[in-house]
C-alpha cells in the first residue's frame, strides 16, 4: 500500500495544526501509524490521497448511515446552496426538520438546533440546571459527551488513548459539579443521590455507550436510571448523538423503550453536515431563551444547508422501512466472523467493537483492561486488507446501509482469518 501522498500531506498539516489534525483520534496515534488523507468517498468506500480504496467502517464516526455521498442528500445540499449558505434568520426548513425529529422522538416536545454534539449536550445540561435550579450532574466513566469543560471527566473516545487521562486547561471548579458513576452500576448512582438528594440536576448517559468501545446497557440499567431520577426530582438526559437514528429511527429511547426528559442528537441528524439538536419536555425547554432565562444562541444554528442535508437523510431513512433490520443483519455477520476468530465482541445493532480484553466488557474498568497494542495489530491487519476501521480500541465500527453484501462477506472473511 503506497502512502507517500498521505505522508507528504501529514508533514504539511503538522506545520499548521496541532498534531496535523482537527480532531485528535484522526491522528492514528494509538495505532502507531500515520493518518490517511481522504480524497473521495462513495457508498461504503473511501479513497485516500494515494488512490487506495477501503471499505469504510468509520462512516465519519456515525453520520453516514446511508453511506457516503448519498445522491438524495447531495442533491438536497446542492439545491439548498443555490438559495444562499446562511441567513441568520428563520426559514421553513428548520420547522420541517424539527417536525421530523419530534415525529421520531416524541419526548423531544420542543427542540433547539445547534452545530455540534458538544454544543447540544452542553446546552441540554444548562437547560436541565436552569429548570431544576440544581447544579450537580452525574455522568458515567467512559461516556463521552463532547469537549465542554464540565464533561471532560473520565471522558471516553479520544481521551482514553490520549496522553492525558483527562484534559488540561479545565479549571477544577468546572469539573466540581460533575459526579462520576459506573456504567451498568445502579448502586453507584443511588449512592450519589443518597449523598446529595436535592442538588443533582440530571443524570447524563449514553443509553448505549459507544465511546469506550461499544458497551450496551445491561437489562434494567436504563429503567433503573429512569426510576432513580424520577424519585429524586432530577432529569434523565439521553446523549443520543451516536444512537439517535442509529439503533432505530427513534434512537435508543425507542429501541429500549425508555423515555428520557431530555435528548441530545448529532451525527446522523445532520446528514453529514455540522448540525445537532437538543430538546425535551415543554416545561424544561421553555426555560431556554427567548422564552426563559437559560441563554443559548448560535450564528449558524439551523443553517439552511445543514438542515437540508438532515431532512434529506431522515427522509431517506423513512423511505427505507427495513433499514434497521438490514443493518442488524449485516453487522451480525461481522460479529459472527469475529467470534469465529475467537475475538471478544460487543454489538448493538449496527455498532460493534472487537475488544482485546480477556473478559466481557460491561463498563469503563473492563474496557480499560483491553490491550491497545493488540488492537493496533488488528487495525493494521484490517487496513492492509483494504478495511478502514476506527483507529482506536475505544470506538465503534459503524455499518451503513450502503455496505453491500459482497463487502460485508469480504470483511467477514478477512476478520475470520485473523490470528
Q: Which residues are catalytic?
A: 144, 239, 267
Residue among 61 and 324 whose Cβ is closer to ligand PLP? 61
- Go through the chain and tell me how many residues it has: 419
* 122 near ligand PLP, judged by CB under 6 A: no
For residue 290, cis peptide bond before it (omega within 30 degrees of 0): yes
* 206 near ligand PLP, judged by CB under 6 A: yes
| Smallest distance, ligand PLP to C-beta of residue 53, A | 26
Residues 260-299 that bind ligand PLP (CB under 6 A): 266, 276
Residue among 24 and 117 whose Cβ is closer to ligand PLP? 117
Identify the DSSP state of 240.
Answer: E
Rounded to an integer, what distance in angstroms lies between the CA atom of residue 120 and that of residue 218? Answer: 26
* 324 near ligand PLP, judged by CB under 6 A: no
| Smallest distance, ligand PLP to C-beta of residue 232, A | 24
* 121 near ligand PLP, judged by CB under 6 A: yes
Binding pattern to ligand PLP, positions 340-379, x when CB under 6 A?
----------------------------------------
| Smallest distance, ligand PLP to C-beta of residue 153, A | 14
Stretch that binds ligand PLP, among 7-15, 236-244, 245-253, 405-413 (CB under 6 A): 236-244
Coil, strand or helix at 247: coil
* 211 near ligand PLP, judged by CB under 6 A: yes
* 144 near ligand PLP, judged by CB under 6 A: yes
Angstrom CA distances, 145 to 59, 106, 136, 155, stand at 19, 22, 16, 7
Residues 33-72 that bind ligand PLP (CB under 6 A): none
Stretch that binds ligand PLP, among 9-17, 112-120, 214-222, 290-298 (CB under 6 A): 112-120
User: Shortest CA distance to 242 belongs to which of 213, 268, 278, 275?
Assistant: 268
User: Shortest CA distance to 261 belongs to which of 242, 243, 278, 277?
Assistant: 278
- Are the beta carbons of 114 and 276 closer than 8 angstroms? yes
* 241 near ligand PLP, judged by CB under 6 A: yes
Which of 117, 142, 271, 302 binds ligand PLP (CB under 6 A)? It is 117
Residue among 116 and 132 whose Cβ is closer to ligand PLP? 116
Angstrom CA distances, 281 to 137, 236, 265, 284, stand at 18, 11, 15, 5
- Are the beta carbons of 118 and 146 closer than 8 angstroms? yes
Residue number with the smallest Cβ distance to ligand PLP: 117
Stretch (H or E) spanning 239: strand 235-240
Which of 25, 153, 242, 312 binds ligand PLP (CB under 6 A)? It is 242
* 146 near ligand PLP, judged by CB under 6 A: yes
Rounded to an integer, what distance in angstroms lies between the CA atom of residue 371 and that of residue 44? Answer: 28
Rounded to an integer, what distance in angstroms lies between the CA atom of residue 299 and that of residue 86? Answer: 9
Stretch that binds ligand PLP, among 159-167, 235-243, 323-331, 339-347 (CB under 6 A): 235-243
For helices 405-416 and 372-384, give the axis angle rounded to 10 degrees.
130
Residue among 351 and 414 whose Cβ is closer to ligand PLP? 351
Which of 64, 94, 185, 239 binds ligand PLP (CB under 6 A)? It is 239
**SS3 per residue for 194-222:** HHCCCCEEEEEECCCECCCCCECCCCCHH
212 Cβ contact list (under 8 Å, min separation 6): 142, 143, 144, 156, 157, 160, 183, 364, 367, 368, 394
Residue among 205 and 402 whose Cβ is closer to ligand PLP? 205
- Name the phi and psi angles at 294, rounded to 5: -85, 115
**What number of other Cβ atoms are within 10 A of residue 8's Cβ?**
13
User: Shortest CA distance to 45 belongs to which of 362, 290, 404, 321?
Assistant: 404
* 253 near ligand PLP, judged by CB under 6 A: no
Residue among 266 and 272 whose Cβ is closer to ligand PLP? 266
* 310 near ligand PLP, judged by CB under 6 A: no
* Binding-residue total with ligand PLP (CB under 6 A): 14
- Chain residues binding ligand PLP by CB under 6 A are 116-118, 121, 144-146, 206, 211, 239, 241-242, 266, 276
Amino acid at each position: 500500500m503506497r502512502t507517500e501522498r498521505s505522508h507528504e500531506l501529514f508533514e504539511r498539516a503538522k506545520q499548521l495544526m496541532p498534531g496535523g489534525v482537527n480532531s485528535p483520534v484522526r491522528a492514528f496515534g494509538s495505532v502507531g501509524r500515520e493518518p490517511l488523507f481522504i480524497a473521495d468517498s462513495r457508498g461504503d468506500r473511501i479513497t485516500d490521497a494515494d488512490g487506495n480504496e477501503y471499505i469504510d467502517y468509520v462512516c465519519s464516526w456515525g453520520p453516514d448511515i446511508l453511506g457516503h455521498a448519498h445522491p438524495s442528500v447531495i442533491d438536497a445540499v446542492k439545491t439548498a446552496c443555490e438559495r444562499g449558505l446562511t441567513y441568520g434568520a428563520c426559514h421553513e426548513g428548520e420547522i420541517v426538520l424539527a417536525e421530523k425529529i419530534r415525529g421520531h422522538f416524541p419526548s423531544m416536545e420542543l427542540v433547539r438546533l445547534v452545530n455540534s454534539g458538544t454544543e447540544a449536550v452542553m446546552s441540554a445540561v444548562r437547560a436541565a440546571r436552569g429548570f431544576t435550579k440544581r447544579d450537580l450532574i452525574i455522568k458515567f466513566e467512559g461516556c463521552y459527551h463532547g469537549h465542554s469543560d464540565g464533561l471532560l471527566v473520565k471522558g471516553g473516545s479520544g481521551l482514553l488513548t490520549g496522553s492525558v487521562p483527562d484534559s488540561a486547561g479545565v479549571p477544577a471548579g468546572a469539573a466540581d459539579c460533575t459526579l462520576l458513576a459506573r456504567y451498568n452500576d445502579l448502586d453507584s448512582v443511588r449512592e450519589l443521590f443518597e449523598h446529595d438528594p436535592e442538588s443533582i440536576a440530571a443524570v447524563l448517559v449514553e443509553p448505549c455507550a459507544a465511546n469506550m468501545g461499544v458497551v450496551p446497557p445491561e437489562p434494567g440499567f436504563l429503567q433503573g436510571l429512569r426510576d432513580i431520577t424520577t424519585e429524586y426530582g432530577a432529569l434523565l438526559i439521553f446523549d443520543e448523538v451516536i444512537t439517535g437514528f442509529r439503533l432505530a429511527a427513534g434512537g435508543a429511547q425507542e429501541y429500549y423503550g425508555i423515555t428520557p426528559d431530555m435528548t441530545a442528537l448529532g451525527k446522523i441528524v445532520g446528514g453529514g453536515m455540522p448540525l445537532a439538536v437538543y430538546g425535551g419536555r415543554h416545561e424544561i425547554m421553555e426555560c431556554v431563551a427567548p422564552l426563559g432565562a437559560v441563554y443559548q444562541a448560535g450564528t449558524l444554528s439551523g443553517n439552511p444547508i445543514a438542515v437540508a442535508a438532515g431532512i434529506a437523510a431522515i427522509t431517506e431513512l423513512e423511505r427505507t422501512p427495513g433499514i434497521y433490520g438490514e443493518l442488524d443483519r449485516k453487522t451480525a455477520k461481522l460479529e459472527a466472523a469475529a467470534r469465529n476468530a475467537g475475538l471478544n465482541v460487543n454489538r448493538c445493532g449496527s455498532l460493534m467493537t472487537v475488544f482485546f480484553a480477556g473478559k466481557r466488557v460491561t463498563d469503563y474498568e473492563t474496557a480499560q483492561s483491553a490491550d491497545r497494542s493488540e488492537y493496533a495489530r488488528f487495525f493494521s491487519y484490517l487496513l492492509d486488507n483494504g478495511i478502514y476501521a476506527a483507529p482506536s480500541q475505544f470506538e465503534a465500527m459503524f455499518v451503513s446501509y450502503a455496505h453491500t453484501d459482497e463487502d460485508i462477506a469480504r470483511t467477514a472473511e478477512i476478520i475470520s482469518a485473523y490470528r
